[in-house]
Structure 1
Amino acid sequence: MNIKKFIERLEEGCISALLVAMTLLVFVEVVLRFGFGVGVMWIGELTLTVSAWFVLFGMSYGLKIGAHIGVDALVRLLPRTGRRICTAIAVLICLAYCGLIMYGGWVYVGKLHMIGLEMEDLPLPKWSVTSILLVGFGLMALRLLHLLWDVIRGTADGFSHTDEVKESLQLADKENIAPDRPSPKLNAALAEGA
């Protein structure tokens, strides 16, 4: 297994584990609070921490699967070389942003480590929890570097995102909803409302 596959599997495993943990924590808190009238003080803080880790792990995974929103109507009008140049510029800007956040995160985590603060409700050092800034943005930077390499090699000419317009048209076609041929379901719903 190469390094890329290992990172992808580690990322997917962490995201899955964090989602399960977050769901279980919220479920337990709801059952305890509304079922038994008691709550566990540290569950709220742990849930917030797990959800932050989930989001910061998930942002690079979102880039991998094309789940981030992108407005590329203008870029699509450009020839392939123009799209590649625009993508390279966008990737470099995103890498600069990742670098700034990682630098700030490094300084912040270092100060937290030096001061020795703990979480409010959990006996964990705060620096260990906030270190996800470095991990999450590091993974994002790796993903962006991979995309930049693909753009340089000519195997990619843009970010991959879901094409909402295309998907909507396909769904409308599937449901047979089109201006020139309305679906029976739509006609029935319109007739009911009138």
Structure 2
Amino acid sequence: MHPKPGESFIDKIEENLIAFLLGAMTLLTFANVIARKGFNSNILWGLELTVFMFGWLVLLGASYAVKKGAHLGVDAILNMVSAPMRRTFGLISIVICIMFTFLLLKGAWDYWANFANLPKTEGRWFPLGFEDKFLAKGWYEVDDIPHPGFLKWMEDVFNEGESYEKLPRLLPYAVLPISMSLMLLRFVQAGMAVWTGQTDRIVASHEVEDEIAEVREQRGEDI
């Protein structure tokens, strides 16, 4: 798949990963149905892996939608005010979104960190530093997904050389800080676009209508 004009290879990584997760979920679910109905068997770890992939899909998709301006938006008020006021409202919205996402990032890190033998942050709302003492939980495993052989190196790094029977929990839950970091980055980028005058709002609530109009124009149809 070649990037569209104006898109870099990095811009395609999220799209490809999201597409992979969706395809893998579909194939795994289909294989599990065939195993149950056709062979009276079951892929024991299939359901748990599908749940984790769905979580990755949703969280990564949320940050990707911010980048593409594809979240739902209400522009009834924006369309009634002047361009400078739209820009002001856009900047206010961006600040609120950045603050909220920063709180989500703190919560995501604090939930995941100990599973990776890392300290949580201190402070109720905003990080005031990191824990001096904490219980390392790198030994925590998921319920059903077996630990693959190519990840055996993780036993020395996170589990003091003890063998993992199941996948360590730090891997599937890593999407929490990753996705919140990406979302924070996307809101900052959206804020820069509003600040520099490239757009006056975070989302394009009529993007579907615009795309349909563009297709019709390319086909030479009346709009």
Amino acid at match of 2:100: Y
- Determine helix, strand or coil for the equivalent of 1:67: coil
The TM-score with structure 1 as length reference comes to 0.78
Which residue in 2 is equivalent to 1:138? 181
| Separation in 1, partners of 2:56, 2:207 | 28
1:112 offset after TM fit, Å?
2.3
Which residue in 2 is equivalent to 1:106? 109
Whether the 8 Å contact between 2:140 and 2:169 is mirrored in structure 1 is yes
Instruction: Find out whether 1:119 has 2:142 as its counterpart.
Output: yes
1:82 offset after TM fit, Å?
1.0
Which residue in 2 is equivalent to 1:30? 33
Instruction: Find out whether 1:60 has 2:32 as its counterpart.
Output: no
1:160 offset after TM fit, Å?
3.0
Which residue in 2 is equivalent to 1:179? none
| Separation in 2, partners of 1:54, 1:153 | 31
Which residue in 2 is equivalent to 1:18? 21
The TM-score with structure 2 as length reference comes to 0.69
Instruction: Find out whether 1:49 has 2:52 as its counterpart.
Output: yes
- Determine helix, strand or coil for the equivalent of 1:91: helix
Of 32-41 and 158-167, more deviation after overlay is shown by: 158-167
| Separation in 2, partners of 1:105, 1:156 | 30
Number of aligned pairs? 167
What percentage of residue pairs aligned between the two structures are identical?
35
* Structure 2: segments with no counterpart, 5+ residues: 117-135, 146-165, 214-223
Q: Alignment partner for residue 75 of structure 1, among 71, 75, 78?
A: 78
Whether the 8 Å contact between 2:112 and 2:170 is mirrored in structure 1 is yes
- Determine helix, strand or coil for the equivalent of 1:120: strand
Q: CA RMSD in A?
A: 2.3
Whether the 8 Å contact between 2:112 and 2:173 is mirrored in structure 1 is yes
Aligned in 2, Cα 1:157/1:164: closer, same or farther, shift over 3 Å? closer
Amino acid at match of 1:104: G
Amino acid at match of 2:50: T
Amino acid at match of 1:16: A
Whether the 8 Å contact between 2:105 and 2:177 is mirrored in structure 1 is yes
Which residue in 2 is equivalent to 1:163? 206
Which residue in 2 is equivalent to 1:178? none
Whether the 8 Å contact between 2:72 and 2:203 is mirrored in structure 1 is no
Deviations 1:74-122 (A, max 9, x none): 1221111111111111111111121111111111111223212110112
1:15 offset after TM fit, Å?
0.8
Of 103-112 and 156-165, more deviation after overlay is shown by: 156-165
| Separation in 2, partners of 1:164, 1:17 | 25
| Separation in 2, partners of 1:19, 1:103 | 28
| Separation in 1, partners of 2:209, 2:57 | 29
